[in-house]
Amino acid sequence: MKTLLVANPKGGSGKTTLAVNLAAMLAQQGNNVRLLDLDRQQSAQSWLARRASQLPVVWPYHADTPSATRAGWLVIDSPAGVHGKMLARMLKLARYVLVPMGNSLFDLEASAAFVAALKAEKAVRKERVRLGVVGMRMAPRTWAAQQMEGFCVQHGLPVVASLQDTQAYVKAAFEGKGIVDLPVRQTLREREQWQTLMDWLSSDE
Ligand SMILES: Nc1ncnc2c1ncn2[C@@H]1O[C@H](COP(=O)(O)OP(=O)(O)OP(=O)(O)O)[C@@H](O)[C@H]1O
Ligand SMILES: [Mg+2]
């Protein structure tokens, strides 16, 4: 099972949006996908409860899942404020860590501290974990995206995608969907912006 952790201690940075869209995207590609919600708010869990049975299946994760059915992906949504031992424990599980990053100065500053904490972790130092940043509510090639890219270059982090601010994400969430489950003609730009992220994931296979 390939495990992907979505983490950023900054509240509202886009963790759940990124996690559920990743799960939907991987399921749409025909993968066996499980979603683990470590947040007490249970937002990802509530998304899952809204998901219609006709859509590509995203399974809830249970620790007692038989190993025979564990092939595929595990996507983990994490809570705001995560640090210290809990961060270390979560990193032990993960092969990929995606950090959603908002577009404000305050988001970048808060993320800088998190990135420093991540880099101090053994799993990251030993490169057992692949780290990537995803710009959230940020159209590619805008001023905000450039600021974030500058920040990431400075910290030696790859920006694997920039996802613009659109109602498609909000609407999809209400329906237990990812943007990939919405009609193609309504989500052309969003899909295009996901391409680099999906390529980054598959480049490791
Ligand atoms: N690309 C986007 N376009 C439009 N809205 C977005 C986008 N990304 C995130 N949002 C919105 O931003 C808000 C915060 O996102 P989300 O709940 O995913 O953040 P979070 O990091 O999981 O928050 P928390 O720390 O509370 O768990 C939500 O209302 C979500 O719909
Ligand atoms: Mg959340």
> pLDDT tens digits, residue range 34-77?
999 999 999 999 999 999 999 999 999 987 766 656 689 999 99
Q: Give the pLDDT mean for 15-41.
A: 97
Cβ–ligand 1 distance for 177 under 6 Å, the answer no
What's the CA gap between 122 and 120, in Å, rounded? Answer: 6
How far is Cα 195 from Cα 136, in angstroms, rounded to an integer?
15
Q: Domain residues of the chain, as ranges?
A: 2-202
Give the pTM. Answer: 0.96
Those residues whose C-beta lies under 8 Å from the C-beta of residue 106, and which sit 6 or more positions away, are none
pLDDT at residue 8 is higher than 90? yes
**Which of 16, 174, 180 is the best mutation target for the ligand 1 pocket, counting ligand atoms within 8 Å of the beta carbon and taking the most?**
16
Show the 3-state SS of 1-60. CEEEEECCCCCCCCHHHHHHHHHHHHHHCCCCEEEEECCCCCHHHHHHHHCCCCCCCEEE
181 DSSP assignment: G
Average pLDDT over residues 179-197: 97
- The CATH H-level superfamily of 2-202 is P-loop containing nucleotide triphosphate hydrolases (3.40.50.300)
Question: Is ligand 1 within 6 A of the CB of residue 73?
Answer: no
Please report the pLDDT score of residue 103 as a whole number. 84
Q: Which residues pair with 35 in a beta bridge?
A: 60, 75
Per-residue pLDDT tens for 133-182?
Answer: 999 999 888 898 899 999 999 988 999 999 999 999 999 999 999 999 99
Q: What gap in Å lies between CA 200 and CA 72, rounded to an integer?
A: 17
Kindly list the protein residues that place their beta carbon closer than 5 angstroms to ligand 2, a single-atom ion: 15-16, 43
Is 101 within 8 Å of 157 (Cβ atoms)? no
